[in-house]
Every structure is written in C-alpha cells, then in structure tokens.
Homo-oligomer: A and B are copies of this chain.
Amino acid sequence: MPDGPSSPTRLGDLERVVMETLWAHERGTLTVRAVHNELAADRDIAYTTVLTVLDRLAKKGMVLRERVGRSWEYRAAASRAELTAASMRHTMEDVDSGDRRAALMHFLDGASTDEVADLRAALAEVERRANPDA
C-alpha cells in the first residue's frame, strides 16, 4: 500500500539515480525505456533492472505512473525540492522542542553564507505571504 512521499523512505544509490533522471524531466513523464536509455549512456545496466527499480519506487510512492497503451509512464511523485524539504522537516521533527532551537543553531552554524542568505530570503517570503498588508 503506497503511502506517498510523506513518509521519508530511504533511497538506495540506484534508486536515487533513477529519481534524478525523472527530476531532470520535471514536467514530463518517462517510460522505462526512456529512463533506461539515459542510464545506459553512463553505465552498463539492464533494462529489467531499471524496470524493477521503477516498480519498487512506485510501490514506495516515490513515483507515480499511468498506463499508456500497454506500458507505463513514470514521473516523480514529488519534486526534488519537496522531497528535500520533507526530509529536513522529518529530521527536525524527531527532536523535541527543547533541542530544536539548539539543532537549528548548529544547522545555521554549519551553513554557508549562500545557504543562510537563501534561508533568510525564504523566511522573508513566507512572512510576506502570511502578512501581505504590512
């Protein structure tokens, strides 16, 4: 029973590579054949391996698929950014609120200037949305 990307399933290396391929075509769908073609350019890999991986990803809810004729068209269930965000949030949520502050401090300590800038911008954006009149 697929439960969607809300539960942060751990991905293996190949699974991640396949997700990358799907993400590279964010707005389209890909057949197994198409994914295999892309991967085969870089590595020696069997068609059925790609098939199996996509099937497993679908069962985990990481990818969505729909029938087109006799074959399936796959696409990522969540964008890379969404998945990253969900994973970060999940990580943060498993500390209680006392440690959360400390965790966030450490997080920012280790972040680069660019990352902090992006975060500040995102924070401002969220604020603007919450408070459009100010």
Contacts and interface: CB of A to CB of B under 8 A. Distances in A.
B89 A110 contact: yes
Contacts of A107: 84-85, 88-89, 122
A40 interface: no
Given A86-B110, A99-B80, A114-B97, A104 B92 contact: no
A17 interface: no
Copies of this protein in the complex: 2
A85 B92 CA distance: 8
Interface string A96-122: 010111111111111100111011111
Nearest to A105: B122
Given A109-B126, A123-B108, A88 B115 contact: no
Nearest to A113: B130
A119 B104 CA distance: 6
